[in-house]
Structure 1
Amino acid sequence: MSDSMKVSTFLQKLSPLRIEGPPEAEISGLFYDSRSVFPGGAFFALRGAAVDGHRFIGDAVARGARVVVLEETHPVPQDVTMVLVENSRRAMALFAQEFFGDPTRGIPVVGVTGTNGKTTVTYLVESILKVAGMHPAVLGTVNYRFGERQLPAMHTTPESVDLLRTLAEFRAQGADALVMEASSHALEQQRTAGVRFEVGVFTNLTPEHLDYHGEMEAYFASKRKLFEKLEAGTAGKAVINIDDPYGARLAGELDHPLTCGTVAGAQIRARDVRMSLEGIEASVETPRGSFQLRSPLVGLYNLQNLLCAAGAGLALGIALDQVAQGLCRASQVPGRLERIANQVGALVLVDYAHTRDALENVLVTLRELSPRRLITVFGCGGDRDRTKRPAMGEVAARLSDLVVVTSDNPRNEDPLAIIEEIRGGVQRVIPAECSRQETFTPEGKKYLVVADRRSAIELAVEVLQAGDLLVVAGKGHEDYQILGRERIHFDDREELRRALALREAEASP
């Protein structure tokens, strides 16, 4: 990690289109937000969906930027070095790799991509690495962490400067391995271009982020970039869940992937599977022998996550018994079927499911537990793919006994407009909304709209009876709601505990 570096050092890696100004300028920091620039910094003009960084070059220079990296020429003072490149984000990643001392060189790095399961797989791989005696850092949706240090995660995969700076800090503190989620946005935007992946894991691909990617082929192409980078390397290994149709397709397009799943032909395959509320037991066959899997996770989709994590461990050369121990010892993943203790005699869960397929996977799994009544509270986020709203509504109505439709992160949309789009899907299964009083009777399928999320959770707790199963879906580990541009504190787990405590207090003599 460097305090400063000459721009000429970076240019050796870049092949820029054009350079103007002093090539020996000293760079003391890397910035993509002009408001953060300090004297001696390099400013990268990034094109975003809403804002073009080229608009802020003047502000960056006024704050002391000595180097500007851009995709279109822009006038700068003579003492400022202008570097014209094809892709500013890729250039920034390569600058950051050099500036922060190439922090992923020489350590095992596992990248996990897919629509669902990324976070769970990173927790599982982290556990395997710890059993194997390593000290892994983890970057993902829940947080960025190493040892006792935890940083809030603003993005699943941060911008390359933030990513590599954080990794350099973790390396300095003793991290000797890295597990990270690689989102489709990050792969498309070259945020991971400065990371040396040894193993890439593909969990699955279902409709999500189509507001950004446009259609599934573009979404798949973004995910595929992780494995193209592995293919270009010398020792990279792809671990692919071939239970998923896109995974099977990807495996067919790669050289010598390590495949996993429950289907015949998977190299890492689960047999004699036994699932219950207590977890999963199975015999797992691998190219290096078999082991008995025992995990507190539940559901087929979590079995696939476990097999993906096992594949990552084996791809890294970790012993089979350590892989098995790591899977068994993995801690509860925050907001993934996270249990909330209660005295009602019901099972109360919080889950991050916020796509149609994720919600269906969760509800199918919970339905198999044969609860007295399955109650689902969920909403959909604003400023995101609208096509999933009625689809999620239909899934919730088909698999639940009572659906409480509420708000999620409305962002800049009208929460009631979002709810109306969800309602369209719900009504394909349950034509009419019930009254609040009717939610207390268990007979028949019902749905109710309660726009305020706190009130929706309170209602669900109020109607809960022994033997019921309540799942609050969509936000999982998140401890905030986004209303307009404001982020307010809101945690489904806290709200459930508060509502349950209130109910218990009111029931006390």
Structure 2
Amino acid sequence: MPDSVKLSRLFPGLFAAAQPGLPDVPVKALCHDSRKVEPGSVFFALRGGQADGHSFISQAIGRGAVAVVMEEAQDLPAPVVGLVVPDSRAALAEAARVFFADPSTGMSVVAVTGTNGKTTTTWLLESILSVAGHHPAVIGTVNYRFGNQRLKAPHTTPEALEMLKIVREFRDKGADSLVLEVSSHALEQRRADGIHFGVGVFTNLTPEHLDYHGDMETYFAGKKRLFTELLPRDGGRAVIHVGDPYGRRLAREISGALTCGCGETADVRPLSMDLSLEGIRGRVHTPGGILELESALLGQFNLENLLCAVAAATALELPIPAIEEGIRRAPQVPGRLERVANTRGAVILIDYAHTGDALEKALDAVRRLRPRRIITVFGCGGDRDRAKRPVMGEVAARLSDLVVVTSDNPRSEEPREIIAAIIPGLRLAGVPELSVAELRHTDGRGYTIELDRRRAIDLAVSLLAPGDLLLVAGKGHEDYQIVGGERFHFDDCEEVKRALGEQEVS
């Protein structure tokens, strides 16, 4: 890749239509954060939820920007070039694609979108692709990775500039395929517009991010962009889970989709299946033949994730033996019903479930394993969708025996106020509030409140008896807790192991 790219190459149509005499300057970097501008950069003024990049144009120019891409024209000092566009984010995605030499072209690229199941599906696909002889890179919620390289993931789907830079780096190191989790925010904000997609997977749609989208129709429209705008550009194929009502609706609107689900009409569907504490085993019908499925994953919702992965691999025309072996070899997904070994004779699971639907699916999955009791620890994040709080409370109380309500990431909210919004759901399920002492001795059901997440986990672990199942829900793979404006190290898996160790010593 050259050290610089001429401005006219980044914006050929726009540059040609601009006023005559614009200097065709060499561009050394692209930036959307004025603090990171260096001499020779193009600065993109992006509108965000908390800040408007147009307010930082002067700062960017002061740091050496040679051109500014903006949605509202501003007078700029010579010789800085100003380009006015209808959508700065779309312009950034296209410019980044060109600047980083179109890094996804020629790769096998799978995008997975949906409220739940994205992370598990991408981990399964990574394993399948590896067994099939490919060298996959993955960009998703847990991290951005290729080979032995692991990058932190501040967002499920990074901004277009960061994403295309990462794809370029992974491609240069040998990646020949790419699996992406694509969030609704990313689709609406055009972060993925510079990627060439071969397969797009829709897992499901349930209430989440409504503080951002406003309603389910807007949320669905954001997801649908992948299938109506991005996939068709490169002749990509849609894979749609039709066990979900929004999936069925999408499948009716997208011609040629490969469908998956447990219904008899799905293109990829189970013929026989056994779900147990040991995992999921069975036979799956695909357009390419019968597949023998064997996975350590637990529960009905993970069967749906497995079917999505099988369908996506089928759309990529990967051989059935590679799909089978890839699923068998797939590693434990961090924070997705992740098991914690113990000597209590109990099952302990860490899960990312942070919506009512995800929590219900996780608890329903473990109830079917018939543990003696289910103990659930959960909370709700602050500064996020408030409507889900009583819903999660009702689900936890209805499907658990004992519930410990605690803090998640309270952010700027007062933890007591967050929990106060959860309590109506607990009461709706008819479950009484108990003191810690009552919780320890009850033979029935109940909930208690412990604001401190560490102490809540300690309490739940201390309640465990042989045959019990503990689900610590909400944070999953996250290794931090956000309280006020500060981020502290906090890992549910580490905390459970610590509690087990301390209680065994004492």
TM class by smaller structure: over 0.9
- Residue aligned with 1:427, SS: helix
Q: 1:79 to 1:294 in 2, by over 3 A?
A: same
- In the other structure, the counterpart of 2:132 is 132
Q: Name segments (4+ residues, structure 1) moved above 4 Å.
A: 13-21
Distance 1:77 1:20 in 2: 17
Tell me which residue corresponds to 1:188. Answer: 188
Amino acid in structure 2 at the alignment position of 1:149: Q
In structure 2, what is the Cα distance between the partners aligned to 1:128 and 1:17?
47
Name the aligned partner's letter for residue 207 of structure 2: P
Conserved? CA contact 1:22–1:80, under 8 Å: no
Partner residue, 1:65 = 65
In structure 2, how many angstroms separate the alpha carbons of the residues matched to 1:182 and 1:263?
26
- In the superposition, the TM-score normalised over structure 2's length comes to 0.98
Decide whether aligned partners of structure 1 residues 19 and 85 sit closer, same or farther in structure 2, where only a CA change above 3 A counts.
farther
Alignment correspondent of 1:170: 170
CA contact under 8 A between 1:21 and 1:79: conserved in structure 2?
no
Cα offset, 1:232, TM superposition: 2.6
Asked whether the 8 Å contact 1:299–1:362 carries over to 2, the reply is yes
* SS of corresponding position for 2:74: coil
Aligned counterpart, 1:349: 349
Distance in structure 1 (CA, Å) of the matches to 2:338 and 2:426: 25
Please give the alpha-carbon distance, in whole angstroms, between the structure 1 residues aligned to 2:144 and 2:378: 27
Q: Secondary structure at the match of 1:443?
A: coil
Counterparts of 1:26 and 1:190, CA distance in 2: 25
> What is the aligned partner in structure 1 of residue 404 from structure 2?
404
Residue-by-residue CA offset, 1:146-176 (whole Å, 9 max, x unaligned): 0000000000000001000011000111101
The correspondence of residues 131-280 of structure 1 with structure 2, limited to 5 A, is 131-280=131-280
Q: Report if aligned partners of 1:21, 1:80 keep a CA contact under 8 Å in 2.
A: no
Structure 1 residues 175, 231: closer, same or farther in 2, change over 3 A? closer
Displacement of 1:19 = 5.7
Counterpart CA distance in 1 for 2:254 and 2:439 is 52
Q: Could you give the per-residue CA deviations for residues 24-50 of structure 1, whole angstroms, max 9, x where no partner exists?
A: 011110111100001110100000111
In 1, the alpha carbon distance for the partners of 2:334 and 2:382 equals: 23
For residues 111-133 of structure 1, what are the alpha-carbon distances to aligned partners after superposition, in whole Å with 9 as ceiling and x for unaligned? 00000000000000001100110
Count of aligned pairs = 506
Q: What CA distance in whole angstroms lies between the structure 1 residues aligned with 2:220 and 2:340?
A: 36
| CA contact 1:20–1:82 (8 Å) conserved in 2 | no
Following superposition, the deviation at residue 233 of structure 1 comes to 2.6
Please state how far the C-alpha of 1:18 moved relative to its aligned partner.
4.9
Q: 1:294 to 1:433 in 2, by over 3 A?
A: same
**Distance across 1 between alignment mates of 2:386 and 2:211:** 8
Equivalent AA in structure 1 for residue 74 of structure 2 = H
Equivalence for 2:332: 332
Q: Aligned runs of 1:387-466 on 2, under 5 Å?
A: 387-430=387-430, 432-466=432-466
> Is the contact made by 1:20 and 1:83 (CA closer than 8 Å) also made in structure 2?
no
Q: Does 1:78 align with 2:50?
A: no
Unaligned 5+ segments in structure 1 are: none
Alignment partner, residue 104 of structure 1: 104
Map 1:317-328 to 2 at 5 A: 317-328=317-328
How far apart are 1:229 and its partner, in Å?
A: 2.7
Q: Sequence identity, in percent?
A: 57
The amino acid across from 1:103 in the alignment is P
Cα displacement (A) at 1:109 = 0.3
Deviates most, 285-294 or 138-147: 285-294
C-alpha distance in 1 between matches for 2:97 and 2:63: 24
1:8-47 paired onto structure 2 within 5 Å: 8-12=8-12, 18=18, 22-47=22-47
Q: Which residue of 1 aligns with 2:2?
A: 2
Query: Structure 2 CA distance, aligned partners of 1:152 and 1:21?
Result: 43
TM-fit CA distance, 1:11: 1.4
In structure 2, what is the Cα distance between the partners aligned to 1:475 and 1:21?
Answer: 55
1:20 and 1:454, CA in 2 relative to 1: closer, same or farther beyond 3 A?
A: farther
Matched residue SS, 1:487:
strand
Shift of 1:249: 0.5
Contact 1:430 / 1:445 at 8 angstroms: preserved in 2?
no
| Partner residue, 2:383 | 383
Contact 1:201 1:239 survives alignment (8 Å): yes
Shift of 1:15: 7.4
Q: Which moved more, 1:391-400 or 1:228-237?
A: 228-237
Residues 380 and 418 in structure 1, CA contact (< 8 A), matched pair in contact too: yes
The equivalent of 1:484 in structure 2 is 484
**Contact (CA 8 Å) 1:231, 1:255: kept in 2 or not?**
no
Report Cα offsets for 1:82-115 as digits up to 9, x if no partner. Answer: 0100000010010100001100001110000000
Following superposition of structure 1 onto structure 2, how do residues 294-333 of structure 1 map, counting pairs within 5 Å? 294-333=294-333
2:428 aligned counterpart, secondary structure = coil
Q: TM-score by structure 1 length?
A: 0.98
